[in-house]
Amino acid sequence: MTYKEISHVNNELPKHEDDLTSIDKALTRCRKHIAWRRQKVFTMLVQGITSTYDIASVLKVSQSTAVRDCRYLKEQAARELRTHITERVTLNLIALAKSKRATTAHFAIGLYWTRVTSYHK
């Protein structure tokens, strides 16, 4: 950004608390709308509608918005799955260690999984 662009942005910043409140309310509405739209995209994906063109047409948004929402949902699912599996493997390894039935192979698998999941974060 050039200095002129930055000073232009600074001149448009809200000067009063009422302005900040209205901006905060607008952002909240925007976030709620995005969450609603992504829920609709998720529902359509679950129903087997995987074409971003079809999703965009139904929701009356641009195809790039549908692509971004699908990408977001895919990344969110991957994060949640990775977290769930990591926690489950950790709990199982702790339980094995406490039961004294763990073998070297169990710990090798756990060590490998820990490295794999930390690599993909």
Domain hosting 51: range is 3-119
- pLDDT tens per residue, range 45-94: 999 999 999 999 999 999 999 999 999 999 999 999 888 888 877 777 77
CA distance 47 to 42: 9
**Segments of 1-121 assigned E as strands:** none
Predicted local distance difference test score (pLDDT) of residue 24: 86
Domain count, the chain: 1
Q: Put residue 60 in one of left, alpha, beta given phi > 0 → left and psi -120 to 50 → alpha.
A: left
- pLDDT tens per residue, range 3-18: 444 444 455 555 666 7
CA distance 118 to 62: 35
Q: Dihedral of the CA atoms 89, 92, 97, 99 (nearest 10)?
A: -170
Pair 62, 56: CB distance under 8 Å: yes
Unique residue bearing structure tokens 């950004």 = 1
CA distance 34 to 49: 19
- pLDDT tens per residue, range 99-108: 655 555 555 5
